[in-house]
Amino acid sequence: MFQKSQNLKYFLSLVPGKRRFGMYRFLPLFFCVGGGMEWIMINVRIGKETFYDVYRRKQSERQYEAKIKHD
């Protein structure tokens, strides 16, 4: 366990900008990962649907059910 922790600290220390940006030096990495995930959710089809197709369909179903309950 201790060796893995040391390896992780070593690899994190290789990221430049430690003195100037501190822990914020990882923000560009997280920004790129988030953008990549968003791109995948929009463009990659699993079966016949993307993530947003499912989201829009479920939202429409919820609105329809709410309208039926309200009437």
**Cα separation, 70 vs 14, whole angstroms:** 59
Give domain status of residue 1, yes or no: no
Give domain status of residue 19, yes or no: no
Give domain status of residue 15, yes or no: no
Give domain status of residue 57, yes or no: yes
* Cβ-Cβ contacts under 8 Å for 52 (sequence gap 6 or more): 41, 42
- Single pTM value for the model: 0.64
> CA 70: distance to chain centroid?
35
- Give burial (CB, 10 Å; 0-12/13-18/19+) of 14: exposed
pLDDT of residue 63: 96
How many separate domains does the chain show? 1
Q: Could you tell me the pLDDT band of residue 1, with boundaries at 50, 70 and 90?
A: low
56-69 per-position pLDDT tens digit: 999 999 999 999 98
Task: Give the whole-number percent of the chain exceeding pLDDT 90.
Answer: 66
| Owning domain of residue 57 | 24-71
Please give the average per-residue pLDDT across 14-37, as a whole number.
93
Give domain status of residue 48, yes or no: yes
